[in-house]
A and B are shown apart, each in its own frame.
Chain A
Amino acid sequence: MNPSIPLLQKFGYRFSWVGMIGLTVIVFWGIVALIAPHIIPHPVGEIVDEDYFGAMSSRFWLGSDYLGRDMLSRVLMGARYTVGISLAAVSIACFSGVVLGMTAAVIGGWFDAALSRFLDAMNSIPGKLSGLVVVAAVGSSITVLIVTLAVIYTPGAYRFARALAVNINTMDYITVARTRGEGIFYIIGSEILPNIIGPVLADFGLRFVFIVLLLSGLSFLGLGVQPPFADWGALVHENVGGLPFGAPAVIVPSLAIASLTISVNLLIDNLPKKIRDRSA
């Protein structure tokens, strides 16, 4: 059996240690994102090292980057952008995708058909390309990035949620709610959503990874957060020249990304479960 956390058990929840680890890492990065400006040892833009791609040392815990800037400071500040932008974008994408998907499933008919075709059309254009076009057209700012990433990933979330909701929509309890005369918002919010939330969250986790990746992909194509700041993906990219030397400047942000995405998925796969006893 799964070892679980006794404290939560008291409140009627079971929470596996794997999920706990995930949560801890996420909370850690969340806190870092919040307090980063106050704890960074050097300003992110300042060149403090004579050398570049410096190794870890007591002065620069995580070495220095391609310009000789302090990597620790840059990674800590990068958390703000990666965590902030990705989380915001994935939340918007999943929220709108799921709401639209459920609505389409419930309303059906031409609304469903039109929306599905439209979003299919959007989905068929590769994300990096639409990102490229949008950012080239309206410039790069945090808001633009969030909205663009969200728009790119909405159709996918829609497709996924709609498929789930269509199944739920055939259940009798939805019919019951309808014959009661309930409105669409009650039906999607209170009847359908609780039944698809599990897979939707799992999808959220995967989509989060994709958004972090796309963000770094955009920085590869020269778009993204404004200097001197950089998200982790951009940090990896700008320092990828240090790879042959095994520079921490490229390894550390990669690890940071992996730690965050893995944790989000571990947490989602191991969310606290309410303990329900059939015979209790």
Chain B
Amino acid sequence: MENLVEIRDLKVEATTDSGRCVDIIKGVSLDIAAGEIVALIGESGSGKTTIALTLMGYTRSRCRISGGSVRIAGKDMVTFSERERAGIRGTKVAYVPQSAAAAFNPTKRIIDQVIEVTRIHELMPVEQAKEKAIELFRALSLPDPDTIGKRYPHQVSGGQLQRLSAAMALIGAPKLVIFDEPTTALDVTTQIEVLRAFKSVMKAGGISGVYVSHDLAVVAQIADRIVVLRNGEVQEVGTTTDILSRARHPYTRQLLAAFEPRPRGDEIVVTGREVLLEVNGLVAGYGPLQADQLPLIRAVKDVSLTVRKGRNLGIIGESGCGKSTLARTIAGILPPSTGNMIFENRKLAGTVRQRSRDQLREMQIVFQYADTALNPEKSIEEILGRPLTFYHGMKGKKRDTRIEQLLDMVHLPRSLRHRRPQELSGGQKQRVNFARALAAEPKLIICDEITSALDTVVAAAIIDLLKELQRDLSLSYIFISHDLSVVEAICDEIVVMYGGRKVEEITPADLKAPQHPYSKLLFSSVPKLDPQWLDSLKLDPELIRTYGHG
């Protein structure tokens, strides 16, 4: 018995609304040796989280383990009673959830939540637990380790919270820690810090780990072995280097291929260079107006930019730098405090209400989170049909045909039209979201981080789609992202924002040599498929001090 974890022929089934049982994990077997970190990768819905959770003897509601065994240090979690499982959770196996922000109870202080495991299992006195927690905070290179625990979850940044949730998992000295996409929601500069912290703590404690992710480059930095999953089945298992360099399975190759940066080629035939949108000296923000007629929180400070017909503008910058605010201001959702906008040679009013219906139609915005941007109570058909009726007065058969065309355009099966958003995968939702914008037949689409939550294969597919549609419909995009490779792939010009200001405007040609120091830091933080990348990465400490946010 040398392996810490032995999963044999694991089957998990879920009961659907109609009472039907479907297998979501179809006989997976997997071993993890002591001190080894294994990554689970695969597209959304492939069963990564489900497998990870079975390691704790837990399945989500309406799901159950229907066969196989999950042995941890020789004990089978499947046959355990609920009480026995509870005894193992937190002490032997611990879990770092996908979204730390949601996993922390907002009403309790961080330190109390971090040491809760020790209280539940009565591992040590409270004082000692607190000291241990502070040590962990230090090991995870959190700022102010002595006092950060006294804060509430909303008082620390997303990256910090993600590390704090690791501390929460590590405090019970578990043998196995499960990380469920811990960095997906973070921007690249933060991601590096978090990855480094995880890696050093795991190594130091000799802890085994399961690392769930859709991002190969991230996985490459931390995992010893990679398991590629699809549809609840294992496609390929191998050491990290093997998988990266000698992938055998076609799906693995596809994943790898999607990761290859594909800079925007010159294949696009640009007919004109007329200005579509011009933004001058935009200032916008939140909160009550101050004496100088400007809002209290100024999220966008004096930004000017130009979008030309048939060309795309990328906006990048770290989380909170004002990208979304800028997008919302342009879309008329948030009225600007000063500055003006000209669209199609006409002045663009500050609010939606003052804009003409045509202006609204010609400029569409696609939001980052497809989950919240699609009304969960409406079918896909209704969602796509509404702009058709609203802008183009389409009804009946004509509308149906057009809906089908739109679904075809975004490569979604027509049968999806009767479903509701929660019955779609993340990538599908994002496509619906995008199809809705297309339905308006716009000239400009503002895309706010539309690929951030998607795995590389799906993200790449969406980028391809955008390009293809641009060719066919002569659209322009404003493309907002924290992910440089994506922006690179599609944009003609890139604006780098920092702290609400535009710090640099670059063309793809200058991409390799950005001028502004912040742009340099940002560009160098994008992970590479090389497993050695993280360890060998040397960032200018001066830059980190100025622009990092530990």
Contact = CB atoms under 8 A, between A and B. Distances in A.
B17 A178 contact: no
Interface string A173-187: 101111111100000
A58 B382 CA distance: 59
Interface stretch (B18-26, B88-96, B194-202): B18-26
A172 B18 contact: no
Interface residues of B, number: 36
Contacts of B332: 179
Given A179-B352, A180-B360, A195-B377, A171 B372 contact: yes
Q: Which of A177, A180, A195 neighbours the largest number of chain B CB atoms within 10 Å of its CB? A: A180
A1 B64 CA distance: 14
B440 interface: yes
B22 A172 contact: no
B480 interface: no
Nearest to A170: B372
Interface residues of A, number: 25
B108 to A, nearest CB: 23
Given A173-B374, A181-B352, A195-B375, A277 B333 contact: no
A1 B19 contact: yes
A59 interface: no
B357 interface: yes
B373 A173 contact: yes
Interface in A8-49: 9, 14
A190 B390 CA distance: 13
B422 interface: yes
Contacts of B376: 195
A275 interface: yes
Contacts of B391: 180
Interface string B313-333: 000000000000000000111
A126 interface: no
Nearest to A175: B333
Contact of B367 (A172, A180, A190, A276): A172
Nearest to A194: B377
Contacts of A181: 352, 355, 357, 360-361, 390
Contacts of B367: 172, 175-176
B378 to A, nearest CB: 7
B16 interface: yes
B436 interface: yes
Contacts of A278: 16, 422-423
Interface of A: 1, 9, 14, 171-173, 175-182, 190-191, 194-195, 273, 275-280
16 contacts: A14-B18, A171-B372, A173-B372, A175-B333, A176-B367, A176-B373, A176-B436, A179-B331, A179-B360, A180-B386, A180-B390, A180-B391, A180-B440, A191-B375, A276-B420, A278-B422
Given A175-B367, A178-B333, A275-B18, 18 more contacts: A14-B18, A173-B374, A176-B367, A176-B373, A179-B352, A179-B360, A179-B364, A180-B386, A180-B440, A181-B355, A181-B360, A182-B390, A190-B378, A195-B377, A276-B420, A277-B17, A277-B20, A279-B22
